[in-house]
Structure 1
Amino acid sequence: MNSVQKFSQMIRVFLLSFCFLIFCNSTIAQTEGDSVIQVGFTGSQPFVIPGTDSEGISVDLWREVAFQGDLNYELTHFKNVTAGLDAVKSQTVDVLVGPITINSDRAANVTFSQPFFETEMAILAPKIEQGFWDYVKPIFSTTFLFGVLGLFFLLSIVGVLLWVVERKTLTPEGKNGTVRGIGNGIWLAIVTMTTVGYGDFAPRTLSGRVIVGIWMIVSLITATSFVAGIATTISQIKGEDETITSLLHLEGKEVAVPDNEKIIDNITTVGGRPTPVSNIDEGFDRLANGEVDALVYDVIALEYTFNQHGGDEFVLSKKNILPQNYGFAFFEATSLKKLVDIEILKLKESGEIQKVIDRWVNSGE
């Protein structure tokens, strides 16, 4: 074989190799472009709307991300977050979207995206109107009655002492006016305590003035303590019947909460009795049926439910309870996660995420 033939053969081999590389690259690019991302979604309404075909905040946010990133995907619904995270760990799905709380326990098994929403817990409770009995009931409380009886007993002692040392002044009839004299002594003690000072009776003897002087000082302390005790009693009794609007009002109450250890511990700490529920619909049903006194849940889900069913029967209280972040879950940090992180940040910066949330929350009004 001469040199010309060898050169010609080398040219053919080079051209064939070049064409083969172009074909492979084209095939790979086409395969990557046509690859379908498996996306799981989960959550309660309004993040996932029951009875619909892939609708809710979670899915709308993913669609925005996928549109901006030019991603092909298939959606799979999971009943709850636990089932969805198990699918991520087994790599059945590439990403799980929804109101997935970012915490250390979950971060040990999966990788989270940038938080797409900062949320908190809120309280939904029946509205309780104050009636006439609620305002007069403190007067018949044990604390109030014991306070009145104790004060009357103290006034009686002072009245008797004044009668003993000021008998002729308080009862001109002398020994024959015992009942009237003690009554006048009690009257003098009352007007002295209240600083009215009508002047119809006044101590004339040194002993009487000493007793009245001591009583003036004692009565100031007694009256102040008595009024403070009554005010405390009234506020406590009214507080028990008022609408639940804060964590402190949950003491001794049955409270429906998500099946989340951190939330359950917080409700237990304030003296509440938590009842875990699987979703907000179950929690609201328990509240509406009177099985629980309040419902503590994600503020977005509660606001959506309140707008749909609340009316004038319930009160929604936002008290910055247990702030937390929501994100999407991946098995590991991949190029897909990086793309999603960038698109989430863009949507947050443009305010589009808040618009999606507001649109779904307000749709329940």
Structure 2
Amino acid sequence: MIRIFLLSFCFLIFCGSTIAQTESDSVIQVGFTGSQPFVIPDSEGDGISVDLWRDIAFEGKLDYELTHFEGVSSGLEAVKNQSIDVLVGPITINSDRAAEVTFSQPFFETEMAILAPKIEQGFWDYVKPIFSTTFLFGVLGLFLLLSIVGVLLWMVERKTLTPEGKNGTVRGIGNGIWLAIVTMTTVGYGDFAPKTLSGRVIVGIWMIISLITATSFVAGIATTISQIKGEDETITSLLHLEGKRVAVPDNEKIIDNITTVGGRPAPVSDIHEGFEKLSNGDVDALVYDVIALEYTYRSHDEDDFVLSKKNILPQNYGFAFHEASSLKRLVDIEILKLKESGEIQKVIDRWVNSGE
């Protein structure tokens, strides 16, 4: 009985070691997908994500084969069906995907950014506020108020404002308006001054009113000018997307956010399509992953565009595994090591700067 037990125990140890040896010697099937610079199109396996996988495989002494997938959806389907062992790339971790596959530790925390054509301010942009309706109504309102004060001063200070007295109506009202202007601006030339008690009361009240009036008009005009100038400025935030055509990834969450701020989203399959639409003037702005945008931005004439990083829709990227994967734990540990050593950021910086 003891002999049978020992033989069975040795057999189990032998089988376990054989299976472990077989698994360690097996070739891991690795899929890769995504946009540049995380994955470089038409390559045998280049980009940030593939470089990170190579570092992980080297440290874990893993043998693997790479297979390219055109889109994240097809890659995740292959993971789910266990056609591949792991899918690497800029794969956003979200609840819908987590219900189908399991994810590694996030290797990068990213956000959306805005790329838009740079709009230079011309001469007309600076002059246009002067001809705005609000500005003109403000000036006319001020002149009307000055005219009313001028007439009141003439009525009580006829002899002071005009040597001709009652016969110098036009000149007297003009001098009354002049007195109202120099009083409002606190210039006080002294060529005209109220002599009667009624005149002094009117001028005293006007001094107080003019301070409030002048401040209100200046504030209103300044606000109008700043608003009008802002209408044609380069798009640099989500608030500027109202009424604008915006190229975005074909992602429901991002599309909903752009719609919420009043933008008109135009879904694109990848950043190449989005940048082409932006360059051709088909859209007013491009909202995409900040690393991909920065790489594309630096690969073209930077003077023509403005890249704005506004912490838009933060999200995490990770690698995808099937539910029963025994590979995930090893990859998680290696990702944490790469993050702690700063190696992931070095790889990202190297690829982004290579676009300059």
Q: For residue 39 of structure 2, give the secondary structure of its aligned residue in structure 1.
A: coil
Counterpart selection for 1:310 from 301, 322, 328 = 301
Q: Return 58-67 or 30-39, whichever deviates more.
A: 30-39
Partner of 1:343: 334
Distance 1:179 1:19, change over 3 A: closer
Q: Which amino acid is 2:231 matched to?
A: E
Partner of 1:3: none
Distance 1:333 1:325, change over 3 A: farther
Q: For residue 317 of structure 2, give the secondary structure of its aligned residue in structure 1.
A: strand
Q: Return 215-224 or 25-34, whichever deviates more.
A: 25-34
Partner of 1:6: none
Asked whether 1:226 is paired with 2:186, we answer no
Counterpart selection for 2:266 from 268, 275, 280 = 275
Tell me the CA shift for residue 29 of structure 1.
4.2
Tell me the CA shift for residue 157 of structure 1.
1.1
Q: CA RMSD in A?
A: 2.4
Residues matched between the structures, number:
356
Tell me if structure 1 keeps the 8 A contact 2:244–2:284. yes
In 1, Cα distance between equivalents of 2:170 and 2:7: 131
Tell me if structure 1 keeps the 8 A contact 2:56–2:331. yes
Partner of 1:201: 192
Partner of 1:148: 139
Distance 1:18 1:270, change over 3 A: closer
Partner of 2:160: 169
Q: Which amino acid is 1:126 matched to?
A: P
In 2, Cα distance between equivalents of 1:82 and 1:31: 31
Once the two structures are superposed, residues 191-225 of structure 1 have per-residue CA deviations (whole angstroms, 9 ceiling, x without a partner) of 11111111111112222222222211211111101
Once the two structures are superposed, residues 263-290 of structure 1 have per-residue CA deviations (whole angstroms, 9 ceiling, x without a partner) of 2232233332222211111111111111
TM-score (norm 1): 0.91
Q: Which consecutive residues of structure 1, in runs of 5 or more, have no partner in the other structure?
A: 1-9
Partner of 2:230: 239
Tell me if structure 1 keeps the 8 A contact 2:85–2:325. no
Q: For residue 246 of structure 2, give the secondary structure of its aligned residue in structure 1.
A: strand
In 2, Cα distance between equivalents of 1:319 and 1:86: 33
In 2, Cα distance between equivalents of 1:203 and 1:309: 70
In 2, Cα distance between equivalents of 1:304 and 1:87: 29
Tell me the CA shift for residue 24 of structure 1.
4.6
Asked whether 1:187 is paired with 2:208, we answer no
Q: Return 47-56 or 266-275, whichever deviates more.
A: 266-275
Q: Return 184-193 or 160-169, whichever deviates more.
A: 160-169
Partner of 2:148: 157
Distance 1:203 1:16, change over 3 A: closer
Asked whether 1:46 is paired with 2:72, we answer no
Tell me the CA shift for residue 241 of structure 1.
2.1
In 2, Cα distance between equivalents of 1:305 and 1:192: 60
Asked whether 1:32 is paired with 2:23, we answer yes
Q: For residue 309 of structure 1, give the secondary structure of its aligned residue in structure 2.
A: coil
Q: For residue 327 of structure 2, give the secondary structure of its aligned residue in structure 1.
A: helix
Tell me the CA shift for residue 240 of structure 1.
1.6
In 2, Cα distance between equivalents of 1:312 and 1:73: 43
Q: How does 1:284-323 map to 2 (within 5 A)?
A: 284-323=275-314
Tell me the CA shift for residue 328 of structure 1.
0.8
Tell me the CA shift for residue 126 of structure 1.
1.1
Q: For residue 162 of structure 1, give the secondary structure of its aligned residue in structure 2.
A: helix
Tell me the CA shift for residue 165 of structure 1.
1.6
Q: Which consecutive residues of structure 2, in runs of 5 or more, have no partner in the other structure?
A: none
Tell me the CA shift for residue 26 of structure 1.
6.2
Q: Return 283-292 or 122-131, whichever deviates more.
A: 122-131
In 2, Cα distance between equivalents of 1:326 and 1:235: 40
Structure exhibiting the larger radius of gyration computed from Cα positions = 1
Q: For residue 224 of structure 1, give the secondary structure of its aligned residue in structure 2.
A: helix
Distance 1:168 1:18, change over 3 A: closer
In 2, Cα distance between equivalents of 1:224 and 1:15: 100
